[in-house]
């Protein structure tokens, strides 16, 4: 079976204003709307389009997180994923732990393509896809803005400083995708109802013989400094004087 595996991370919705906890231990998530990471939603949409073109037989959505992540996996199933896997853990794994966990699932599921978002909007690490490709020993392409697939290869286009870069990769391969790749579909109520009957498997890190420990920990989270209020100037001379006073010229 030609299978595509897609990563789906639960994050604070991008429309929500982030607030830091009073003790600076993290950001407030209680009572806050949570959604699929936007980059992962685009990755899922691309996998579904590949399947709809007849180039894949199954799309499997995978998430690593708490039991609440089932909500985002059900959304992925409503979008069109065939089944979902939740690696349930209360830990907040870093990119290496995520890559190792996906590597174990790759060995079990044997996908010909793994598609991830290029980064998560909560931590912006952007490292999991590269680490997975290295652990798996397969080719990778990151920040893809166009994907074309044939039986044995995948051709991708990505934006670089000098313009557009086109890469051809042998399959199996790992891709991470950019926002320009596609526009995710809207989930309809009938699809939400159907998603409730689709299989959602819950496993633990112990089942996969992979740990969720990292070599670092978050010491403190602080909001950015508030920007100073702007001032109005009458002419260029006054502007230059104000800049000199601030040591900018």
Q: Tell which residue, 80, 76, 46, 49, has the closest CA to residue 63.
A: 76
Q: Do the beta carbons of residue 212 and residue 89 sit within 8 Å? A: yes
Q: Do the beta carbons of residue 6 and residue 47 sit within 8 Å? A: yes
What range does the domain containing 36 cover? Answer: 3-222
Helix (H) or strand (E) holding 100: helix 95-109
Q: Do the beta carbons of residue 9 and residue 1 sit within 8 Å? A: no
Q: Do the beta carbons of residue 10 and residue 63 sit within 8 Å? A: yes
- CA-based torsion, 83, 210, 97, 121: positive or negative: positive
Question: Would you state the pLDDT for residue 162?
Answer: 83
pLDDT digits (tens, 9 = 90+) for 41-84: 999 999 999 999 999 999 999 999 889 999 999 999 999 999 99
Helix (H) or strand (E) holding 52: helix 38-52
| Coil vs helix vs strand at 152 | coil
Instruction: Look up the CATH number of the domain holding residue 159.
Output: 3.40.50.620
Preceding amide of 172 cis, omega within 30:
yes
Do the strands 34-36 and 10-12 form a parallel or antiparallel pair, or are they unpaired? antiparallel
DSSP 110-126: --SEEEEES--TTT---
Exposed, middle or buried, 104 (CB in 10 Å: 0-12/13-18/19+)? middle
How would residue 29 be classed by pLDDT, with cut points 50, 70 and 90?
confident
User: Residue 80 and residue 1: Cα distance in Å, rounded?
Assistant: 17
Domain membership flag for residue 244: no
Question: Would you state the pLDDT for residue 124?
Answer: 80
Instruction: Domain count for the chain, please give it.
Output: 1
| Average pLDDT, integer, range 127-156 | 92
Cβ neighbours around 47 below 10 Å, total: 30
pLDDT digits (tens, 9 = 90+) for 96-138: 888 999 999 999 999 999 999 998 888 888 889 999 999 999 9
Domain membership flag for residue 227: no
Q: Do the beta carbons of residue 54 and residue 78 sit within 8 Å? A: no
Domain membership flag for residue 249: no
Q: Do the beta carbons of residue 79 and residue 198 sit within 8 Å? A: no
Instruction: For Cα atoms 31, 37, 40, give the angle at the middle one, nearest 5 degrees.
Output: 155
Tokens of 89: 């853990």
Domain membership flag for residue 239: no
| Coil vs helix vs strand at 55 | coil
Question: Would you state the pLDDT for residue 157?
Answer: 92
Distance of CA 224 to the CA centre of its chain: 24
Domain membership flag for residue 234: no
| Average pLDDT, integer, range 202-211 | 82
Domain membership flag for residue 169: yes
pLDDT at 214 over 70: no
């Amino acid at each position: 079976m030609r299978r595509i595996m897609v990563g789906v991370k639960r994050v604070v919705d991008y429309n929500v204003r982030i607030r830091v906890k009073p003790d600076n231990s993290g950001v407030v998530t209680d009572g806050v709307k949570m959604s699929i990471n936007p980059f992962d939603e685009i990755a899922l949409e691309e996998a579904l389009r590949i399947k709809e073109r007849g180039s894949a037989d199954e799309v499997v959505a995978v998430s690593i997180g708490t039991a609440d992540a089932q909500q985002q996996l059900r959304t992925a199933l409503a979008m069109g994923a065939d089944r979902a896997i939740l690696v349930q853990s209360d830990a907040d794994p870093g990119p290496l732990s995520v890559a190792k966990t996906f590597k174990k699932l790759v060995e079990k599921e044997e996908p010909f393509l793994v598609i991830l978002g290029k980064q998560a909007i909560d931590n912006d690490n952007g490292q999991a896809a590269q680490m997975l490709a290295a652990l798996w020993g397969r080719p990778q392409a990151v920040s893809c803005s166009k994907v074309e697939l044939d039986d044995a290869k995948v051709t991708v286009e990505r934006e670089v400083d000098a313009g557009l870069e086109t890469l051809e990769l042998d399959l199996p391969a790992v891709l991470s995708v950019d926002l320009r790749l596609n526009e995710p579909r809207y989930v309809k109520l009938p699809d939400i109802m159907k998603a409730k009957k689709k299989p959602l498997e819950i496993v633990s890190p112990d089942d996969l013989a992979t740990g969720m420990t990292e070599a670092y920990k978050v010491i403190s989270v602080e909001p950015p400094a508030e920007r100073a209020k702007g001032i109005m100037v009458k002419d260029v001379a006054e502007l230059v004087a104000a800049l000199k006073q601030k040591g900018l010229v």
